Amino acid sequence: MPRGITPRQPSRSGRQDKVAKATPRAKARFAKGFSAPKKSAKATPLAGRKSAAKKTLGKTAAAPKGYNPVAPERVSEILRRLDKRYPDATCALHHKSAWELLVATILSAQCTDARVNMVTPVIFAKYPTVEAFAALKPEELEPDIRSTGFFRNKAKSVIGAARKLMSDFGGEVPRTMDELLQIPGVARKTANVVLGTWFKIADGVVVDTHVQRIARRLELTKNDNPLKIEQDLMRVIPREKWIAFSHQIIHHGRAICIARKPKCAECPLENLCHAADKTWSTVEIHKSAKP
């Protein structure tokens, strides 16, 4: 949106509604980005159309007084639409046990799930048990996981985790947050993935880069620290939705609400979202709703 231009507030008489037709000057002003959505624009997705994608059709403002982005009705409408769009969303990391999921999640830091899914079948075929991993030296595992990045730290974490499971948990992945957090390489995000996806235990909300970005765009949090974001989400989202919400938002972040150029014209949450970096909008933009 061009800087330095503030759209007029509609007048009480409704005169403003006709201003685009009224004068050439007003026409030009509105053509710069403040006109109401055109019928054709609504019907046609704007993603991929360079000039159109740059346009935000809603006006920019601070969130109005009294607006509550975490009002239960708004949150439940967001959840309802996510359920409808992503009814079967689940973890994209391939795994056959809690241990395999734990290892895959450790390897997925700063790496795509597709890459991890190429690496894990190789290492689980080579080292089929937790015990086999515990007996390794990091240098032995490093070449097999090199392509996932940060492979030295990841090798130490995976082997450290295997040793901890052998020494303290009878070779089994524990099923409580406190115990999982004692394992090398495991923080709340990894623990939440394992608890939610494998054990179906909702002890928190997975906050990865997608959840972090989209929670801020949707004004469900103002924080940028993942631990605080998780606390905020746990406050506003009903517990029975914690597991599904994370999976759905991660899918949404990959498919539509991407970091650089979100595909707002295709988004099921469009008219509930006031994000400052929307590429297309039928509602007011809130300056503070930033990723």
- Residues in contact with ligand SF4 by CB under 6 A are 214, 217, 256-257, 262-264, 267, 269-270, 273, 275, 278
Q: At its nearest, how many Å lie between ligand SF4 and the CB of residue 270?
A: 4
Residue type present at position 66: G
Q: At its nearest, how many Å lie between ligand SF4 and the CB of residue 89?
A: 15
Q: At its nearest, how many Å lie between ligand SF4 and the CB of residue 252?
A: 7
Cα–Cα distance for residue pair 19/192, rounded to 1 Å: 53
Rg (CA), the chain: 23
Cα–Cα distance for residue pair 177/183, rounded to 1 Å: 10
Give the burial string for 27-52 (b: 16+ CB within 10 Å, else e).
eebbeebbbeeeeebeeeebbeeeeb
Closer CB to ligand SF4, residue 251 or residue 263?
263
Give the burial string for 184-204 (b: 16+ CB within 10 Å, else e).
ebbebbbbbbbbbbbeebbbb
Q: Which residue is catalytic, options 55, 154, 164, 189?
A: 189
In the annotation, is 189 catalytic? yes
Alpha carbon 72 to its chain's center? 20
**In the numeric block, which tokens belong to residue 142?**
């490093």
Closer CB to ligand SF4, residue 1 or residue 173?
1
Q: At its nearest, how many Å lie between ligand SF4 and the CB of residue 46?
A: 11
Closer CB to ligand SF4, residue 161 or residue 214?
214
In the block, residue with structure tokens 């006006």 = 59
Closer CB to ligand SF4, residue 5 or residue 255?
255
In the annotation, is 156 catalytic? no
In the block, residue with structure tokens 């061009």 = 2
Q: Which residue is catalytic, options 208, 222, 277, 290?
A: 208
Residues 6+ apart with CB under 8 A from 209: 253, 259
Closer CB to ligand SF4, residue 160 or residue 262?
262
Q: At its nearest, how many Å lie between ligand SF4 and the CB of residue 105?
A: 25
Cα–Cα distance for residue pair 62/2, rounded to 1 Å: 17
Closer CB to ligand SF4, residue 25 or residue 260?
260
Residues 6+ apart with CB under 8 A from 207: 188, 189, 192, 215, 226, 227, 229, 230, 233, 246
**Do 57 and 35 contact (CB within 8 A), yes or no?**
yes
Q: At its nearest, how many Å lie between ligand SF4 and the CB of residue 202?
A: 23
Residues belonging to the active site: 189, 208
